[in-house]
Amino acid sequence: MHGNYFEPELECASREVLHYIQSKKLVKMVHLAYNNVPLYKKRFDEIGLQPGDIKSIDDISKLPFTYKDDLRDNYPFGMFAVPKEQLVRIHASSGTTGKQTVVGYTRHDIDVWARSAARSIVAVGGTKSDYVHVSYGYGLFTGGMGLHYGAEKLGATAIPVSTGNTKRQVQIMQDYGSDILCCTPSYAMYIGETVRDMGIDPKTLKLRAGIFGAEPWTEEMRREIERLLDIRAYDIYGLSEIAGPGVSCECQMQAGMHVNEDMFFPEIIDPETGKSLADGEFGELVFTCIGKEALPLIRYRTRDICTLNHETCECGRTLVRMGKPRGRTDDMLIIRGINVFPSQVESVLLELGMAPSYQLVIDRVNNLDCMEVQVEMTEDMFSDTVRSLESTEHKIANALQSTLNIAAKVRLLEPKSIPRSEGKAKRVIDKRNKG
């Protein structure tokens, strides 16, 4: 066993100990949900299930699924299992795909979340003496406050910069000596580009690690961020409905994200049949909030597609690892009957040495779906001849065809012509359902 841990007795617990903890928490949580959340009482009664039928974590497949629409249909507080007097905080999702999903936290829930985020910071090599530069958005979005409370729980120093004013962010990194950067990967790229454009050698920054999440990103993008900022880039996972960032995070092995499964129990299911899948099989990630009081979600369908791996990691942690989600069932595009994930396009572009700034424009022309991939030229390409640029477009189009099994038009754009995002990057413009 080697590595640093925040709570070693839990992060490195035997499977038997974890099974005991998970079972005890699940039984308690099922009674809480049944007795206090009308939706769960109704769902249980419909299938003839009593809370007493759940005796251990092995019984989890007997429980009904929870869907994002359940939170929307019970907006804002209908899924809460505690009186409002016990709530100490409210967060909400960005609401980009519909009505916001509202999340409530008791003091206990905030502590659970802070501990999981603290574990994440320690897993990437963070210590009490570090300055943690939090460039996720603060407010109703869970990103900023999740890592902020995690840093404070660890005893590190949180710098609550939030998003925006990127040159000032870089100045703060220089002046304050930020050690760990927390933001979306697309914003990390933008910060890296800004460092370069300001003529700063990234080696002169104290920054050594980055914790990036809230949107899908590829291994190629990881390498590009690491090159631009001269750091190690780590993936973190969370979603508002479960807690926020810190549900899982990579360790220094960068070999999958350790799920804090004593708090959030994961499963992988076949999205069509709902049946559980074995380790290594791609399927939909499902979470049960066994550690929470205010919003005890049961078998919540995240729509993220990934795998699980229960082997003990080289870092010594026994906590199950989830692979990087390769897309979501709801961000999957279906173009002429073929499933396309934006992350597949990103992989192709970065493998060919293109800038990671791109957009997919999907349209329907003469009843036929078509996809245009708009990608920024790198600075050194900008002076190339028209023939050379056309050749690059053909090369990208051919690589996309072989990866996606679908033809796409490729259009090269001037550097910096695609809007930069300080939060989640907007990668897809789908015109098919408009007008």
Domain boundary among 267, 298, 328: 328
Same-domain status, 245 and 363: no
Structural domain that includes position 425: 333-430
Query: What is the pLDDT, as a whole number, of residue 70?
Result: 96
Same-domain status, 324 and 381: no
13-56 pLDDT per residue, tens: 999 999 999 999 999 999 999 999 999 999 999 999 999 999 99
Same-domain status, 317 and 419: no
Domain boundary among 301, 328, 355: 328
Same-domain status, 207 and 285: yes
In single-letter form, the type of residue at position 216 comes to P
Judged by phi (left if over 0) then psi (alpha if -120 to 50, else beta), residue 155 lies in: left
- Asked whether residue 282 is assigned to any structural domain, the reply reads yes
Share of the chain above pLDDT 90, in %: 76
7-20 pLDDT per residue, tens: 999 999 999 999 99
- Asked whether residue 247 is assigned to any structural domain, the reply reads yes
Same-domain status, 135 and 260: yes
Mean pLDDT, rounded, for 177-199: 95
Same-domain status, 368 and 270: no
383-419 pLDDT per residue, tens: 778 889 999 999 999 999 998 888 999 999 999 899 8
- Asked whether residue 51 is assigned to any structural domain, the reply reads no
**Is 323 a residue whose pLDDT tops 70?**
yes
Mean pLDDT, rounded, for 176-195: 94
Same-domain status, 147 and 287: yes
Judged by phi (left if over 0) then psi (alpha if -120 to 50, else beta), residue 365 lies in: beta
pLDDT band at 1 (very low <50, low <70, confident <90, very high): very low
- Asked whether residue 40 is assigned to any structural domain, the reply reads no
Q: Select the more confidently predicted residue: 58 or 98.
A: 58
Share of the chain above pLDDT 70, in %: 97
Same-domain status, 259 and 118: yes
- Asked whether residue 387 is assigned to any structural domain, the reply reads yes
Same-domain status, 315 and 419: no
- Asked whether residue 355 is assigned to any structural domain, the reply reads yes
* Angle, in degrees to the nearest 10, between helices 38-46 and 15-36: 100
Same-domain status, 296 and 338: no
Please state, as a whole number, how many other Cβ atoms lie within 10 Å of the Cβ of residue 139: 11
239-266 pLDDT per residue, tens: 989 999 999 999 999 999 999 999 999 9
pLDDT band at 3 (very low <50, low <70, confident <90, very high): low
Domain CATH for 234? 3.40.50.12780
Query: What is the pLDDT, as a whole number, of residue 405?
Result: 83
Domain CATH for 354? 3.30.300.30
Q: Taking a C-beta distance cutoff of 8 angstroms, is the pair 156, 127 a contact?
A: yes
Same-domain status, 315 and 381: no
- Asked whether residue 210 is assigned to any structural domain, the reply reads yes
Q: Tell me how many domains the chain contains.
A: 2
- Asked whether residue 26 is assigned to any structural domain, the reply reads no
SS3 annotation, the chain: CCCCCCCHHHHCCCHHHHHHHHHHHHHHHHHHHHHHCHHHHHHHHHCCCCHHHCCCHHHHHHCCCECHHHHHHCCCCCCCCCCHHHEEEEEECCCCCCCCCEEEEEHHHHHHHHHHHHHHHHHCCCCCCCEEEECCCCCCCCHHHHHHHHHHHHCCEEECCCCCCHHHHHHHHHHHHCCEEEECHHHHHHHHHHHHHCCCCHHHCCCCEEEECCCCCCHHHHHHHHHHHCCEEEEEECCCCCCCCCCEEECCCCCCEEECCCCCEEEEECCCCCCECCCCCCEEEEEECCCCCCCCCCCEEEEEEECEECCCCCCCCCCCEECCCCEECCCCEEECCEEECHHHHHHHHHHCCCCCCEEEEEEEECCEEEEEEEEECCHHHCCCCHHHHHHHHHHHHHHHHHHHCCCCEEEEECCCCCCCCCCCCCCEEECCCCC
pLDDT band at 2 (very low <50, low <70, confident <90, very high): low
Q: Select the more confidently predicted residue: 328 or 241.
A: 241
pTM for the model: 0.82
Domain boundary among 306, 328, 350: 328
Same-domain status, 245 and 105: yes
